[in-house]
Amino acid sequence: MKLGFLTACLPKQSLENLVVWAKSIGFEMLEVACWPVKNTRDYSGTTLDVANLTEDQAERIKKLFEQNNMQISSLAYYDNNLHPDLVIRKSYHDHLKKVIDAANLLGVKYVGTFVGRNYNKTIKENFDEFEIVFKEILEYAKEKGVSIIIENCPMPGWNPNGGWMGTISYSPELWEEMFSRLPYDNFGLNLDPSHLLWLGIDPVSVIKEFKDKIFHVHAKDTQILKDKLNKYSIFGSQIQRKNEWDMGYWVYRMPGRGEIDWKAFLKELKQNGYDYVVSIEHEDPEYEETEEKVKEGLKLGFEYLKGILNEI
C-alpha cells in the first residue's frame, strides 16, 4: 500500500508544488481535487482545472509525476449527483464527465464522487433514480477506461431535515443495493472508515464482504465526544448546531488522533488483497488555520500511517 492525500486541503498550491512537497515528505500518490474553478463547496479545491485541460497539458502533468516517481491515485469531484434541482444536477453531471475525460487523458483509472440523494423522495425512489443516473455515468466512464469510486460519507449537511443523511451510499446495506442494481466492473468504493465509526459501524467488519469493491481507501480518523452523544443522540444536535454540518458529538481527526484501530483496519485490508493507496483526507480542525498547520497535520498522518504499514 502507498500513502497519499487529497489535495483539496491545500487549494492555493499548484499541482507542481504539491508533487514536490509530497515527495519530500515520502508520499507516493496524490488524490487530485477537480472541483470547478467557481465553486463554494466546503473541503473542495481545483488543483486541476479539468474544464480547460488540453492534451499537451496532460502530457506535461504525466511527465511531472513520472519525473518525481509519483502517481495520481484518483481524480476527486464529490457533489450530489441526485440533487433535487435538475438544473443543478445537470451541471454536476456535466462537470463529472469532464473529470472522467481528464482521467482518460492522464491515464488515471479512478474518478471519485458521491451518489448523493434527492431528499424530497424516499430511499426506494432514490435508488430507482440512481439506477438511471449512474447507468449513464458508468457507461460513459467505461468508454473512457475509467472506474467510478463512491466515497461513503453520509453528508448530513445536504439534508434540510437535521440529522438525516444526504446520500444513499453510507452503509453496507446500501452498498449491497447499489452494486446489485448496477453490477458494473468499473464501479466500486473509496472506503472511508471515519464515517463508519460515528455511524456505529466497525470499519474492519466491512472489508472482507466488500473486498472486491474496495478500489481506493481514505484515511481520516474520528473522535467521538461521549458526553455530547449522550445529550444529542446518534442523530446529532437539532437546536444548537453551529452550522448544517455540525452534529455535535463527533469530530474528524488526523489518523492516529481518533478512535479507529488503524493497525487492525490496514492489516485486514492487506489480508484481503488490497494493495493500492491509503489517501489522507485532511479535515482535522486543529490543523486547518494556515497552510503550515495543514502540512503539519499531513506530516503527522503520514508518519503515523507509515509506521503501521511498516509493521503489518
Alpha-carbon gap, residue 15 to 107, rounded angstroms? 17
- Contacts of residue 184, Cβ cutoff 8 Å, sequence gap at least 6: 138, 142
The half-sphere exposure of 72 on its side-chain side, counting CA atoms within 13 A, is 28
- Contacts of residue 89, Cβ cutoff 8 Å, sequence gap at least 6: 80, 81, 82, 83
Reported confidence tier of residue 163, pLDDT bands at 50, 70, 90: low
Reported confidence tier of residue 164, pLDDT bands at 50, 70, 90: confident
- pLDDT of 186 higher than 70: yes
Whose CA is closest to 203, among 301, 272, 297? 272
Assess if CATH 3.20.20.150 describes domain 2-311. yes
- Tally of residues, the chain: 312
Alpha-carbon gap, residue 119 to 57, rounded angstroms? 39
pLDDT tens per residue across span 137-160: 999 999 999 999 999 999 988 887
Per the CB < 8 A criterion, the answer to whether 154 and 167 are in contact is yes
| Whole-number pLDDT of residue 161 | 74
**β 147-151/110-113 pair status:** parallel
| Whole-number pLDDT of residue 162 | 62
- pLDDT of 91 higher than 70: yes
| Whole-number pLDDT of residue 244 | 79
Share of the chain above pLDDT 90, in %: 89
| Whole-number pLDDT of residue 44 | 77
Alpha-carbon gap, residue 263 to 301, rounded angstroms? 13
Torsion of CA 165, 154, 131, 83, to 10 degrees: 70
pLDDT tens per residue across span 187-222: 999 999 999 999 999 999 999 999 999 999 999 999
- pLDDT of 89 higher than 80: yes
The domain ranges of the chain are 2-311
pLDDT tens per residue across span 26-76: 999 999 999 999 887 766 789 999 999 999 999 999 999 999 999 999 999
- pLDDT of 17 higher than 90: yes
pLDDT tens per residue across span 234-257: 989 988 888 878 899 999 999 999
Per the CB < 8 A criterion, the answer to whether 256 and 299 are in contact is no
